Chain A
């Protein structure tokens, strides 16, 4: 049995206090049958993506709209996030691996306080792609869902 197909679209203003609104709207799209950790990771990855757009993409410009489309087909969840803010620089997303977490736990000063968001985003999804064209950016996040 596969997951029922769903599709949902919504928009938020690109401000930091709207991210929780988007998370609330996304939640019904995440299959309730997934275990808690998996549900949390999907929400976390999504929140990190939005934080990144809000805090960096719109840092030097008035907040625009961020458009979100969530589709669930077969055994895959796809989140598509579009905005018209500043594009994410070069290969930032590609370079965000798990290195930020390879810190020495005994070296207090060297512990990361930031720079973890994109790595968590990458960890939360199986496939992450980013396109920027004519002032519009589109981030697509895909996660395979376990067989039901």
Chain B
């Protein structure tokens, strides 16, 4: 099973983790899967967290790792974040680091801009 499903909207890759929990057991695999896509040329990314119920510090670190891998060249927009997960982004002040929007359409538009 792929840890992340990818659908494409023109040059935007929409990444949907196929797991309900991004945690210490799969964070590294998630990061490596996305970094592989970046290496293959996908640099405009939407991370759709609509199916993710729980993220721990390892999962959050992996998402930060993806952003660092883009190294400022490209975009990563996060969307469909469930309330308590969004609360985690706020608590860790990562809401100031990531562009977080409500829905997938808006995220795709922002990633294309």
- Interaction A to B: yes
Q: Which A residues are within 8 Å of any B CB, using their own CB? A: 16-17, 19-20, 23, 36-37, 39-41, 43-44, 47-48, 51, 54-55, 101-103, 105, 108-109, 111-114, 116-117, 120, 123
The total number of A-B Cβ pairs within 8 Å is 79
Determine how close the nearest CB of chain A comes to the CB of B69; give it in whole angstroms.
10
A56 to B57, CA, bound (A): 15
Of chain B, the residue at the smallest CB distance from A17 is B25
Which residue from A20, A23, A48, A111 sits with its C-beta under 8 Å from B57? A48
The chain A residue with its CB closest to the CB of B71 is A108
The chain B residue with its CB closest to the CB of A105 is B96
Interface residue tally on B, bucketed by range = 20 to 34
Say whether B64 contacts A113, CB under 8 Å.
Answer: yes
**Docked CA distance A2–B107 (Å):** 44
Tell whether A116 pairs with B84 under 8 Å between CB atoms, given A16-B24, A105-B93, A109-B68.
no
Contacts of A111 on B, CB cut-off 8 Å?
64, 67-68, 97
- B91 at interface (Cβ–Cβ under 8 A)? yes
Contact between A19 and B87, CB atoms less than 8 A apart? no
B72 near A108: Cβ-Cβ < 8 Å? yes
Chain B 69-106 against A: per-residue CB contact (8 Å), 1 yes, 0 no? 00110000000000111011001110011000000000
Nearest Cβ on chain B to A115's Cβ, whole angstroms:
8
Cβ contacts under 8 Å, A103 to chain B: 93
The residues of A that contact B58 with a CB separation of less than 8 Å are 51, 114, 117
Contact across chains for B21 and A44 when beta carbons are under 8 A apart:
no
A114 partner, pick from B25, B61, B72, B84, beta carbons under 8 A:
B61
Q: Using CB atoms, name the residue of chain A closest to B72.
A: A108
A16, A36, A44, A112: the one within 8 Å of B25 (CB): A16
B87, A37: Cβ atoms closer than 8 Å = yes
- Which residues of A have CB within 8 Å of B21? 20
Supply 8 further A-B pairs (C-beta < 8 A) apart from A48-B57, A114-B57: A36-B83, A41-B84, A109-B68, A111-B97, A113-B65, A114-B61, A116-B60, A123-B91
